[in-house]
Amino acid sequence: MADQSLQESFPEAWQEFRTCRILHWISWLAFISVSGFCIVSGVAFNLPFGWWPDGIFIMGCGVLVAITYAKLRYMRCPRCHKDFFFLLHFYPIFLREGCWNCGLPIYGDDDAQT
Ligand SMILES: [Zn+2]
């Protein structure tokens, strides 16, 4: 029980977590780059901000950020079946080592594999 981890003991949940995390980063990158592009092109070509296409693209990227965030936020721990990332907005994923409730580590112990 003590040497369990999300990465090694629950490969399906691990895969889902990795996919969500990557999609979340991609959606943030898309949101920032699309917003930046719309603002810069608007300023460079002296265009007024329009709902089409600027507003729709920015809103679409924002929705993608929200969806991927919600998927991570409401991810269930495969061991205790409670919120894995409880209070995610106060305590981001890169500061966490495991499940909020049961302490299931995200990453496996590399030393144990060798
Ligand atoms: Zn748990």
All structural domains of the chain with their residue ranges:
6-107
Distance of CA 60 from the midpoint of ligand 1 (Å): 33
Which pTM was predicted?
0.82
Q: How far apart are CA 114 and CA 108, in angstroms?
A: 12
Distance of CA 111 from the midpoint of ligand 1 (Å): 23
Distance of CA 95 from the midpoint of ligand 1 (Å): 16
Q: What is the DSSP letter of 18?
A: H
Q: What is the pLDDT of residue 80?
A: 96
Q: How far apart are CA 88 and CA 74, in angstroms?
A: 9
Distance of CA 29 from the midpoint of ligand 1 (Å): 30
Instruction: Give the tens place of pLDDT for each residue, 64-101.
Output: 999 999 999 999 999 999 999 999 889 888 889 999 99
Q: What is the pLDDT of residue 114?
A: 46
